[in-house]
Amino acid sequence: MKRALITGITGQDGSHLAEYLIELGYEVHGLVRRVALEQPAQRLGRLLHLRERLHLHPASLESYPSIFQIFGREQFDECYHLAAQSFVAESFADGFSTMAANVNGTHYVLEALRSLQPKCKFYFAGSSEMFGKVRYSPQDESTPFYPRSPYGISKVAGYHLSTNYREAYGMFCCSGILFNHEGPRRGFEFVTRKITSGVARIKLGLETKIFLGNLDARRDWGHAGDYVRAMHAMLQQAEPDNYVVATGESHSVRDFCAIAFAEVGLDYQEYVEIDPSFYRPAEVDLLLGDATKARQQLGWEPQHTFRNLIREMVENDLELLSSRAHTAPRKATVGIA
């Protein structure tokens, strides 16, 4: 039985990946903050249905000794490094914490593996935000990076760290340059979930407006459940490499709004208002991925369409709010990441 460690297992991608690996017969371990084990209902919400099948270890990406201890105590075949401060807007608000967690955390995991388990295969969660102000579209593995946020910069650093450990020490290190991927488990701070939860609240009479930023920003949106399959496939190859994972379709935030509101029979133009405070200091206008390499070498294909993704998210938020109609509306800010 293969053994895998997932950092960031409590997040959207981590929970989907844990499910997928368990289905494949893996013994799945996760790195979590100690408070998550003390408050599972609040901190492990995406994993409660899997809790008895997981091995969770308290540690912090800000502490090299805690990471070193885990790799010294447990042996793994694969390590999926997903943990990061991933909300772009927050990275502008607190760039120091974003850089410390994302860059140092990646470096700590890589160095602990090099010292204790150099044969363990390593996956680094890159991001399309590394491309930022793109030179051309679509973007593939050879497109130059031009990040436009502290988050994007931190991911470029992690990408190069992973490549350096592969080339300098012969480690099996892969980076997945994943374009935006969403789903019902997306955090409420991200623009897609803000829209779908807002649609549900308006439909149920709990709100009357959604306030958003740049409706013309365009992204290549896929489903998180599809993208974790690509992560796993990268570590099953004979040689380590880097791969873009994307649908190859570009849609605007406006498109997302129009489809989401149409799912409940409403016109988004009557409910969406622009709030300039949600604009980024340095905007990324267009991201569109070319996943030809992943399709050809990994045999990967997305299984969800853009419209089906939105429908699933809207239906989930309607069901969630209908079952919790007595709770107060959740406050959220908007971000694209």
Amino acid letter, 243: Y
> How far apart are alpha carbons 193 and 190 in whole angstroms?
6
Which residues participate in catalysis according to the annotation?
127, 129, 151
Task: Specify whether the CB–CB gap between 181 and 126 falls below 8 A.
Answer: no
Handedness of CA 195, 201, 207, 208 (dihedral sign): positive
Q: What angle do CA 271, 284, 145 make, to 5 degrees?
A: 155
> Which segments of the chain are extended strands (E)?
3-7, 27-32, 54-58, 78-81, 121-127, 173-178, 181-182, 210-212, 218-219, 222-223, 242-245, 251-252, 272-274
Task: Specify whether the CB–CB gap between 51 and 44 falls below 8 A.
Answer: yes
Nearest 5°: phi and psi at 286? -145, 125
Task: Specify whether the CB–CB gap between 175 and 124 falls below 8 A.
Answer: yes
> How far apart are alpha carbons 96 and 87 in whole angstroms?
14
Three-state DSSP state, 182: strand
> How far apart are alpha carbons 30 and 12 in whole angstroms?
13
